[in-house]
């Protein structure tokens, strides 16, 4: 199962990123857990300095961008089937 962590204060971009991450995982047929992290200190522990941020399985893969579902699919494809 993939675990996505959406790093941000709950703004519209953060919510859209969560939706796009869920859509990407569903398109690839992956089971996914989505956790929204809004505490700034916790966000910084990921090394994320610009929100929204996206971490996959605890690894920061994007910050400061609202990724589209197809961009997220490219990030998770190597994990597909784990």
Q: Which positions are annotated as active-site residues?
A: 11, 14
* Nearest Cα to Cα of residue 4 among 37, 28, 29: 37
* β pairing state of 32-37 and 2-7: parallel
């Amino acid at each position: 199962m993939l675990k996505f962590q959406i790093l941000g204060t709950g703004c519209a971009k953060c919510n859209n990123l969560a939706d796009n991450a869920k859509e990407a995982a569903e398109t690839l047929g992956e089971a996914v857990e989505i956790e929204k992290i809004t505490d700034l200190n916790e966000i910084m522990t990921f090394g994320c300095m610009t929100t929204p941020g996206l971490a996959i399985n605890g690894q920061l893969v994007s910050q400061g961008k609202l990724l589209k579902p197809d961009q997220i699919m490219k990030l998770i494809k190597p994990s597909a089937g784990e």
